Amino acid sequence: MSTNDSTHPLACSVNGRAVRLRPDPRESLLDVLRERLALTGTKKGCDQGHCGACTVHVDGRRVLSCLTPAVQVDGQAVTTIEGVTGDDGGLHPLQQAFIDNDALQCGYCTPGQIMSGIACIAEGHTRTDDEIREYLSGNICRCGAYVGIVAAVRQTVDGS
């Protein structure tokens, strides 16, 4: 017996919540997050993996969700910008540092920048400002807020 159903079961955790879907195997994680789960904080920039606006964490690793097939995250934990707030709903320290350091202008790249910044800190790539810039280089800010972005990561690392 054959069926025309080309979907595949997907069971994962998104921002700590169990999710069960049947996406098409060609559907990107980005599209599932935005279109099926209404988590629109993750942005669709270039849709080719060049800009970093779609950065999320999968099992603690940063990934470009526009290039990640949704079915690939089966059994894994996905964290989006909506999932980095504290249990009390307060801002993540890096989110607050972005505000403190005026590290955003139009804000479109900000969710991806923050997700990459959190990973950069967790990975320990914060010894120098040059190292921070290198590890955030996959995230493009068309407004040029790079000085503030590096300062925000530095503030978060230094705890000031």
74: alpha, beta or left? (left if phi > 0; alpha if psi -120 to 50) = beta
Return the pLDDT at 75.
98
CB-based contacts of 141: which residues, under 8 Å, 6+ apart?
Answer: 105, 109, 113, 149
Q: Which sign, positive or negative, has the C-alpha torsion 104, 129, 83, 98?
A: negative
Return the pLDDT at 1.
43
- Strand pairing partners for 10? 21
Tell me what the mean pLDDT of segment 66-81 comes to: 98
Weakest-pLDDT range from 2-16, 20-34, 82-96: 2-16
**Longest alpha-carbon distance in the chain:** 64
How does pLDDT run across 126-148, given as a tens digit for each residue?
A: 999 999 999 999 999 999 999 99
Return the pLDDT at 5.
66
Helices (H) and strands (E) in the chain, counts: 5, 5
How does pLDDT run across 25-57, given as a tens digit for each residue?
A: 999 999 999 999 999 999 999 999 999 999 999
Domains of the chain: residue spans and CATH? 10-83 (3.10.20.30), 93-158 (1.10.150.120)
Return the pLDDT at 2.
45
Answer for the pair 52, 67: CB distance below 8 angstroms, yes or no: no
Give the C-alpha separation, 67 to 124, whole Å. 25
Please give the model's pTM, rounded to 2 decimal places: 0.93
